[in-house]
Chain A
Amino acid sequence: MATAAAHRTARTAEDGAPDTAVDTAAYQSAFDAAVAADERIEPRDWMPDAYRATLVRQIAQHAHSEIIGMQPEANWITRAPSLRRKAILMAKVQDEAGHGLYLYSAAETLGTGRDELLDKLHSGRQKYSSIFNYPTLTWADVGAIGWLVDGAAITNQVPLCRCSYGPYARAMVRICKEESFHQRQGYELLLALSKGTPEQHAMAQDAVNRWWWPSLMMFGPPDDESQHSAQSMEWKIKRHSNDELRQRFVDICVPQAESLDLTLPDPDLRWNEERGQHDFGAIDWTEFWDVLKGNGPCNEQRITQRRRAHDEGAWVREAAAAYAAKHTGTTGGTGETRA
């Protein structure tokens, strides 16, 4: 909850919009005070337009990542090598769809709609995490995604549980619990492979070799090239810089890789006694920007599949809307909500 002062100020005008510059200044200072006091901004509170826009962009991108992120893993559901693993993977992909739903709901509290956000995803106007533009080539990739990709996501997302925007912070609390579980499952999958036959061990190592660097890229560009960082940290949407979180992730992964009996593909990776942290090699930022621009190995495939699922499902959504109109007298919206 924002401060009482902010509430009073923000909710005086029922139409929500301040009429004068004087009002705007008062709203702004109440907002600033609430953020400074580490209080939560809620949907009906006044907020700067840029804060709203940043959150919509970030939450939508997060939601899209959950939805697109189902694809590389779903790629292995039908080939999972044991029934137990198959059940775990199905449950995980189902959780991701659920996370997408929470996040679209959180974005909707900011005055946008799921349909609109999906349109933007489908037309390329909004992005999703670049990591999902890499292919899952072996079963071990499912483990590497759990361990490294979910691990990086958690490192990024745990601080978001304290994000200044209430609905986003609360969604992250629920999501992080499930993500930690997924991450442990991924680790456990890799451990089984690593301790298995030589072929299985090689499969695990190959997967880690391919997913390590893309996982480090998940923290975004270096601090001096990150255009949104400073403002997001001021608003307490973000709590730590990209490079800080990336470092934290590397330091967590090194001992885990050792206990997995797998190596990380970085000849420059070593403990730095002075810093009390690991030094690591340079990230290939050319590749990062290239994937971000749409030229990764699976960009085209991922968005095509998403669009196709949506387009081929249109008649189903229309049927649900028509049925709702006949039987409840409402228009049934777009059919996105099933009775």
Chain B
Amino acid sequence: MTATVPATAALALGDDALVLSHRLGEWAGHAPVLEEEVALANIALDLLGQARILLSMAGDEDELAYLREERAFSNLQLVEQPNGDFAHTIARQLYFSTYQQLLYTELAAREGPFAPLAAKAVKEVAYHRDHAEQWTLRLGDGTELSQERMQRACDALWRFTGEMFQPVEGLDVDWADLADRWLRSVTDVLGRATLAVPEGPRSGAWAAGAGRQGLHTEPFGRMLAEMQHLHRSHPGASW
């Protein structure tokens, strides 16, 4: 890559992938069925691969992952949300993978430093979105209990979805159009899953773009403490 890589954008997208990958990694050994052990780990690995490429565009991947403090991370608050129950994880996946698919499709279609990454990632992301959609349908239109849990998860994460469409410096994208298409796509899936589109704002005053500015929610610091502890305990070591 040339010096024209917009570091802010590479970090924003890279941090999203890194943090969500970490959250999905927490599922290992805890999934509701063995097939999901494989699927969740698979998605986590795809995201980690994307994160490594994106962070490397902005600098040294390990320095960026392990030596920044939380105020320097620019991931969306959505992806740092704790896993919760399986429904929360699926709702988070549905919201984020839909966003990622739309965004990467745009980035893949135009010239620019992100086109090659986006072209590769969009195939992975299509699978992630399909996985999230299939489970949204099964949980929404499954049992009374699963529907209630899925609805609760969709509602709880709804307020974090607005920040996805705050413009990211260095990404030439029609964000308002992306937001419209995202809402249409998610509305369609929720409808087919017999779930209600959550009411209420998609971004509060604090949440709107806050993650991109390094303003995070409380669980994030604890997540980073765990992620970075070993690396920070051995300054300068190679692994």
Contact with B along A313-324 (1 / 0, CB 8 A): 111111111110
A192 at the interface (CB under 8 A from B): yes
Q: Is the CB of B45 within 8 A of A90?
A: yes
Query: Nearest Cβ distance between residue B155 and chain A, in whole angstroms?
Result: 18
Using known A-B contacts A67-B34, A196-B237, A319-B146, determine if residue A90 contacts B44 with beta carbons closer than 8 Å.
Answer: yes
Contact with A along B189-227 (1 / 0, CB 8 A): 000000000000000000000000000000000000011
Query: Nearest Cβ distance between residue B19 and chain A, in whole angstroms?
Result: 12
A70 at the interface (CB under 8 A from B): yes
| Smallest Cβ-Cβ distance to A310: which chain B residue | B32
Chain B interface size, as a band, is 35 or more
| Smallest Cβ-Cβ distance to A197: which chain B residue | B237
Q: How far is the CA of A84 from the CA of B137 in the complex (A)?
A: 35
Contact with A along B142-154 (1 / 0, CB 8 A): 1101100100000
A91 at the interface (CB under 8 A from B): yes
Q: How far is the CA of A310 from the CA of B52 in the complex (A)?
A: 33
Using known A-B contacts A78-B227, A101-B35, determine if residue A322 contacts B142 with beta carbons closer than 8 Å.
Answer: yes
Q: Is the CB of A315 within 8 A of B143?
A: yes
- Give residues 282-316 of A contacting B (CB, 8 Å): 305, 308-310, 312-316
Q: How far is the CA of A319 from the CA of B34 in the complex (A)?
A: 16
| Most chain A beta carbons < 10 A, residue from B31, B85, B86, B239 | B239
B59 at the interface (CB under 8 A from A): no
Task: Say which one of B20-28, B101-109, B174-182 lies at the interface with A.
Answer: B20-28
Identify B41's interface contact among A85, A94, A335, A337, CB under 8 A: A94
Query: Nearest Cβ distance between residue A235 and chain B, in whole angstroms?
Result: 29
Identify B137's interface contact among A77, A85, A315, A323, CB under 8 A: A323
Set of chain B residues within 8 Å of A321, measured between Cβ atoms: 142
Q: Is the CB of B61 within 8 A of A139?
A: no
Using known A-B contacts A82-B231, A86-B25, A197-B234, determine if residue A309 contacts B41 with beta carbons closer than 8 Å.
Answer: no
Query: Nearest Cβ distance between residue A332 and chain B, in whole angstroms?
Result: 10
Q: How far is the CA of A71 from the CA of B51 in the complex (A)?
A: 25
Set of chain A residues within 8 Å of B139, measured between Cβ atoms: 316, 319
Q: Is the CB of A79 within 8 A of B29?
A: no
A326 at the interface (CB under 8 A from B): yes
Q: How far is the CA of A251 from the CA of B25 in the complex (A)?
A: 36
Set of chain A residues within 8 Å of B62, measured between Cβ atoms: 82-83
Q: How far is the CA of A321 from the CA of B44 in the complex (A)?
A: 26
Identify A317's interface contact among B33, B41, B42, B230, CB under 8 A: B33
Identify B32's interface contact among A70, A79, A316, CB under 8 A: A316
B48 at the interface (CB under 8 A from A): yes
Set of chain B residues within 8 Å of A337, measured between Cβ atoms: 35
B238 at the interface (CB under 8 A from A): yes
Q: Is the CB of B29 within 8 A of A74?
A: yes
Q: How far is the CA of A321 from the CA of B26 in the complex (A)?
A: 26
| Smallest Cβ-Cβ distance to A69: which chain B residue | B29
Chain A interface size, as a band, is 35 or more
Query: Nearest Cβ distance between residue A337 and chain B, in whole angstroms?
Result: 8
Identify B238's interface contact among A67, A104, A192, A310, CB under 8 A: A192
Set of chain A residues within 8 Å of B238, measured between Cβ atoms: 192, 196
B37 at the interface (CB under 8 A from A): yes
Q: Is the CB of A83 within 8 A of B134?
A: no
Q: Is the CB of B141 within 8 A of A323?
A: yes
Q: How far is the CA of A327 from the CA of B192 in the complex (A)?
A: 12
Q: Is the CB of B229 within 8 A of A79?
A: yes
- Give residues 110-151 of B contacting A (CB, 8 Å): 134, 137-139, 141-143, 145-146, 149
Q: Is the CB of B234 within 8 A of A318?
A: no
Q: How far is the CA of A315 from the CA of B148 in the complex (A)?
A: 11
Set of chain A residues within 8 Å of B86, measured between Cβ atoms: 313, 316
| Most chain B beta carbons < 10 A, residue from A90, A309, A319, A320 | A319
Identify B45's interface contact among A84, A94, A338, CB under 8 A: A94
| Most chain A beta carbons < 10 A, residue from B41, B65, B143, B146 | B41
Set of chain B residues within 8 Å of A316, measured between Cβ atoms: 32-33, 36, 86, 139, 146
A247 at the interface (CB under 8 A from B): no
Contact with B along A239-264 (1 / 0, CB 8 A): 00000000000000000000000000
A265 at the interface (CB under 8 A from B): no
Q: Is the CB of A78 within 8 A of B34?
A: no
Query: Nearest Cβ distance between residue B71 and chain A, in whole angstroms?
Result: 21
Q: How far is the CA of A229 from the CA of B93 in the complex (A)?
A: 49
| Smallest Cβ-Cβ distance to A100: which chain B residue | B34
Identify B28's interface contact among A77, A100, A326, CB under 8 A: A77
Q: Is the CB of B42 within 8 A of A83?
A: no
Top 4 closest pairs, chain A to chain B, by CB: A313-B32, A319-B142, A319-B146, A94-B41
- Could you write out 11 A-B pairs with CB less than 8 Å apart? A79-B226, A80-B230, A81-B239, A97-B38, A101-B35, A313-B31, A319-B139, A319-B142, A319-B143, A320-B142, A335-B33
